[in-house]
Structure 1
């Protein structure tokens, strides 16, 4: 009996591990497909984005037309909807505002006493005498403050004259450091900056650093190629208030011409300010590409060398910032 139970438990554990490995394998190698379209006409923006995975087993739909809507589906069942939560949040906020306004109105009514409960304060000789004493004390305080300010100005003037006499005689400054010492400190600081710049230049020009940067550039272009949609179609018209800005954006679009040569039409407008057009795109991406690329960068033979140099530089900067 006991061996049968142990076999069943072991079988369940292996089954769960197999399911986890299968799910992980599917997440890494089955691509996430996406497609979207957008339109902007007469300052009205609308668009939709759909993301699906594993033959539309899991679907996410985002739409925008005056407000954002989101829906998440698993097979034919809707698991999540953003619009309902927004409406409930708006209703709760409106109820809270109404409740807070009513409470404030009640507090205002209770805080203001009726006119029958207010009593006039009688004017007596004691009140008049108290007011006179207060005026005299205020004048006395103003006179004392003026005297203290005059004494402070005289003290500062004497300190400036004493400092000027010391500097003219070549003596030490009030901080206790000679002028020549300050110049030497500035010179030492400039020498340190020059040595650091020379060290950084040597590090950047070293063979190991250049080899790692070349490898990193290849991986970044691979990631970018995976992220860019496979198909892009549409037309775009843009114009800014300054024609120079329009020309700069057009130059940037010309640099990206190999990515959309036969699919996207771009028209710069130099005579008016406008942003309109239609755009549709589709593509897919695999998590395995990013995970495997990151692992290749981490285990590269020159990554540790570059990482240790950057980490040591950060530590030196922190130490200098704390201790000077």
Structure 2
């Protein structure tokens, strides 16, 4: 009886732990992570600010982050506790650095005092001795130069003329003999490149025509659309004004931004400026992410043989 009671208690504890684990897994996968962000950029260089907020489980867990010219400040709040909080430390650090920059150190004061001290007699005598030694060395070099010239002349006279003639002949005949070899090498390299290009084109054609590869590509495109539908911004508003000194550059940038018009539409206005350089605007966005959608898309992709083999080969 005692053994049965112990086994029953152990079973109940394991069942409770399993249910607790399933509850936590369901909360992580099904409860959305909500995010909201806002920012602005002015005409001046240091006129910018950004704020990001992440929350989960009815705002029981919150993460705040602010980016300003003073630096990055962030804080994490879990229920009523703040285990991480970096806000408030930047101002003290900046004041401390300003004070350190204004006050010179002791080593700098000592070096400045040593510069103003006059030279002693011993230092002046050592400097004069060094100058006389340099003059003597220059005279010795000038006296030995004619002998060195004579030695070089005798060495040049002793070299046989036959070696010089052979070197000149080889220099004259070697380029003419190597020209046909170079042409053959170029032809061989050109043919080899064409062969490699043809092999790559044939292998690429086989990959495109393969039915399994086509299925993998269609599955990948469908899962990307699925994720974009569920992970899209629920709110996206703002404006942007930009310009360059070159009007042609402004036109090219507008042509690129027009490709993404279906994503931002009328909720985000873009104003071009053609007479001067400018970059300023505002943005505000909001949305949420459920991890269950990412997990479903990942499982469906890994069930495909081609995609699974590609991922495992990279790992």
CA shift in 2, pair 1:65/1:86, >3 Å: closer
After superposition, residues 28-67 of structure 1 pair within 5 angstroms as 28-43=29-44, 44-67=47-70
Query: Which has the greater radius of gyration?
Result: 2
Alpha-carbon RMSD:
4.5
* Contact 2:48–2:68 (8 Å) recurs in 1: yes
Distance in 1 separating the partners of 2:21 and 2:164: 78
Q: Is 1:162 paired with 2:170?
A: yes
* Contact 2:38–2:52 (8 Å) recurs in 1: yes
The two structures have a TM-score, normalised by structure 2, of 0.71
Q: Is 1:231 paired with 2:235?
A: yes
CA shift in 2, pair 1:109/1:41, >3 Å: closer
Q: Of the candidates 113, 123, 137, which is equivalent to residue 118 of structure 1?
A: 123
Match of 1:274 in 2: 278
Could you give the per-residue CA deviations for residues 216-244 of structure 1, whole angstroms, max 9, x where no partner exists? 12222333344431111233333333323
The two structures have a TM-score, normalised by structure 1, of 0.70
Q: How many Å apart are 1:281 and its aligned residue? A: 1.6
Distance in 1 separating the partners of 2:154 and 2:289: 79
CA shift in 2, pair 1:120/1:225, >3 Å: farther
Could you give the per-residue CA deviations for residues 153-175 of structure 1, whole angstroms, max 9, x where no partner exists? xx99975752542453x5799xx
Q: How many Å apart are 1:284 and its aligned residue? A: 0.5
* Contact 1:209–1:306 (8 Å) recurs in 2: no
Q: Of the candidates 274, 297, 300, which is equivalent to residue 296 of structure 1?
A: 300
Distance in 2 separating the partners of 1:211 and 1:98: 68
Q: How many Å apart are 1:145 and its aligned residue? A: 9.4
| Structure 1: segments with no counterpart, 5+ residues | 312-324
Q: How many Å apart are 1:58 and its aligned residue? A: 0.8
* Contact 2:301–2:308 (8 Å) recurs in 1: no
Q: How many Å apart are 1:25 and its aligned residue? A: 2.7
Could you give the per-residue CA deviations for residues 210-267 of structure 1, whole angstroms, max 9, x where no partner exists? 2212221222233334443111123333333332333333334433333333533333
CA shift in 2, pair 1:181/1:129, >3 Å: closer
CA shift in 2, pair 1:204/1:305, >3 Å: farther
Distance in 2 separating the partners of 1:191 and 1:261: 49
Q: Is 1:132 paired with 2:158?
A: no
Distance in 2 separating the partners of 1:70 and 1:18: 35
Could you give the per-residue CA deviations for residues 104-141 of structure 1, whole angstroms, max 9, x where no partner exists? 554676799863352504759x9565553355567877
After superposition, residues 223-262 of structure 1 pair within 5 angstroms as 223-262=227-266
Secondary structure, aligned partner of 1:49: strand
Aligned positions, number: 300
CA shift in 2, pair 1:85/1:290, >3 Å: farther
